[in-house]
Amino acid sequence: MTQLLFISGSLRQDSSSTALLRALEQRIKSVPAVTDVTYADIGALPHYNADRAMNEEIRNLVDAIATADGVVIATPEYNFSIPGVLKNAIDWASRPAYQSVFKGKPVFVLSVSGGALGGVRAQGHLKYILNGMLAEVFPWQEIVVPAAPKKLIEGTFEDQAVLDFATEGLVAFLSRLNS
C-alpha cells in the first residue's frame, strides 16, 4: 500500500494549492493502492539556520518525507518563483546535502497562480531545486492552474477539467510507485 505526503506551498486558509490537494485526495481514495495521505505543516518550521539543531517540527517534516512512498507538492507562484515558506521547508529537509530524505524520493509537482500562466515559473524553479537535491521528479506534463482562486467554490476546488488532468498524472505517479 502506498503512503503519500502532500505539501502545500501556501499557508493561507483559502489556499488554492491546498484546495487542489484536497480535491485530488478525494479523487484518489478510489485508487486501491493508496493507504494514507498526510499533509505536512510547513508553517510551523523556524527559519532555516544551519547553526540550529532540528526541533520537533523539523523532525516531523523529515520523518514524514522519509516514511512517505511519494511526495506531492502543490505550489503557488509568488514573484515568479516558489514561496519562501516552501523553500524554507525544503532547505530544512535537504540536509545533509546529497544524503537527505529527498535523495531518490519520488515527487509529483503541481502549480497554481492567480495569473494567466498557472505558476509555470514556480514549477520550473521547484523542479530545479528538487533535482539539485537528487529527488526523483516524476516526468509528466506540467500541471499548471491559471486563475486558480476563481476555481474555488466555498473553499473547494471545482474545475473538473483540471482535476481530470491532474488526477490522470497522479494515478500515473501512483502506478510508478507501485511497480
d(CA 147, CA 145): 7
Domain ranges of the chain: 2-177
What pLDDT score does 179 carry? Answer: 85
Query: What does DSSP say about strands 156-157 and 152-153: parallel, antiparallel, or unpaired?
Result: antiparallel
What pLDDT score does 22 carry? Answer: 97
What pLDDT score does 136 carry? Answer: 98
d(CA 92, CA 23): 28
Q: Tally the residues of the chain.
A: 179
What pLDDT score does 158 carry? Answer: 97
Residues pairing with 107 in the sheet: 71, 137
What pLDDT score does 32 carry? Answer: 73
pTM for this prediction = 0.97
What pLDDT score does 144 carry? Answer: 97
Task: List pLDDT tens digits, range 91-132.
Answer: 999 999 999 999 999 999 999 999 999 999 999 999 999 999
Among left, alpha and beta (phi > 0; psi -120 to 50; other), residue 107 is beta
**Burial letters for 147-164: b for 16+ Cβ neighbours within 10 Å, e otherwise?**
ebeebbeeeebebeebbe
Superfamily of domain 2-177: Flavodoxin domain (3.40.50.360)
Pick from 53, 48, 56: nearest CA to 88: 48
Q: What are the per-10-residue average pLDDT scores of the chain (179 residues)?
A: 95 96 92 83 96 95 98 97 98 95 98 96 98 97 97 97 97 92
Q: Which residue has the cell 488554492?
A: 16
Contact 94, 107 (CB under 8 A): no
Query: For the chain, what percentages of helix, strand and coil (3-state, to nearest 5) are there?
Result: 40, 20, 40
Residues pairing with 137 in the sheet: 107
